[in-house]
């Protein structure tokens, strides 16, 4: 297939975003694997994951971050590459602004929601773990006291991400129709 347009700048920005998100995910993974051993975390993340309960917030945040924050951003770059470079559809005006909203709101929203879920889930689980493994020794209700602080901020962050994804979808349609 012949290339009909110029090189897609937006595809490059989404690739860069995926690289940054991947580097952050690598850092989180390192802390999860070695954080307790190097004295940064009080309890091994493996204990949080195995404990279930509030640790499931950590699991979900981590998986969403990897899937949407890293892989999703890389795959999104292919959409922009396809319709800008392969199809020759230019992003200009409103479609360009929507693409930027997609990039910024999508990345910030996914990162914020996922990282807050990981942080909240980890420390809520630690709060109720036995003291002999480094936990707080609290009652199960103590986890709720930690997690309740994250519900609204995570919801707002998810809303920002969804707004960004919706903006990107509308921008795709406008760019395709403008040809």
Query: Residue 2's pLDDT band (boundaries 50, 70, 90)?
Result: low
Q: Is the pLDDT of residue 5 over 70?
A: no
Tell me how many degrees the CA angle 124-128-131 measures, rounded to the nearest 5: 125
Q: Is the pLDDT of residue 1 over 70?
A: no
**Greater pLDDT, 41 or 90:** 41
Task: Say what the pLDDT of residue 178 is.
Answer: 73
Task: Say what the pLDDT of residue 19 is.
Answer: 98
Q: Is the pLDDT of residue 3 over 90?
A: no
For residue 17, which of 97, 85, 74 has the smallest C-alpha distance? 74
Q: Is the pLDDT of residue 25 over 90?
A: yes
Within 8 A by CB and 6+ apart from 9, the residues are 84
Question: What average pLDDT does this structure show over 33-48?
Answer: 94
Q: Where are the alpha helices (DSSP H) in 92-150?
A: 94-128, 141-147
Average pLDDT for the chain: 93
| pLDDT tens, position by position, 66-110 | 999 999 999 999 999 988 888 888 889 999 999 999 999 999 999
Domain ranges of the chain: 9-177
Task: Say what the pLDDT of residue 26 is.
Answer: 97
Asked whether the beta carbons of 70 and 17 are under 8 A apart, the reply is: no
CA atoms within 13 A on the CB side of 22: 11
Asked whether the beta carbons of 15 and 75 are under 8 A apart, the reply is: no
Q: Which residue, chain included where needed, has tokens 């800008």?
A: 84
Question: What average pLDDT does this structure show over 136-165?
Answer: 96
Question: What average pLDDT does this structure show over 19-38?
Answer: 96
**Greater pLDDT, 63 or 82:** 63
Q: How far apart are CA 18 and CA 99, in angstroms?
A: 15
Task: Say what the pLDDT of residue 13 is.
Answer: 97
Q: Is the pLDDT of residue 4 over 80?
A: no
């Amino acid at each position: 297939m012949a290339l009909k347009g110029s090189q897609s700048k937006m595809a490059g920005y989404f690739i860069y975003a995926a690289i940054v998100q991947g580097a952050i995910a690598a850092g989180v993974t390192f802390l999860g694997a070695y954080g307790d051993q190097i004295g940064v975390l009080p309890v091994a993340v493996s204990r949080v994951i195995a404990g279930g309960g509030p640790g499931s917030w950590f699991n979900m945040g981590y998986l969403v971050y990897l899937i949407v924050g890293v892989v999703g951003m890389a795959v999104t770059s292919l959409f922009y590459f396809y319709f800008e470079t392969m199809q020759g559809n230019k992003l200009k005006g409103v479609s360009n602004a929507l693409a930027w909203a997609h990039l910024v709101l999508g990345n910030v929203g996914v990162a914020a929601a996922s990282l807050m879920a990981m942080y909240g889930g980890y420390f809520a689980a630690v709060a109720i773990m036995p003291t002999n493994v480094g936990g707080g020794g609290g009652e199960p209700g103590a986890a709720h006291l930690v997690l309740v602080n994250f519900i609204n901020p995570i919801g707002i962050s998810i809303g920002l991400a969804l707004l960004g994804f919706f903006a990107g979808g509308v921008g795709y349609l406008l760019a395709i129709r403008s040809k």
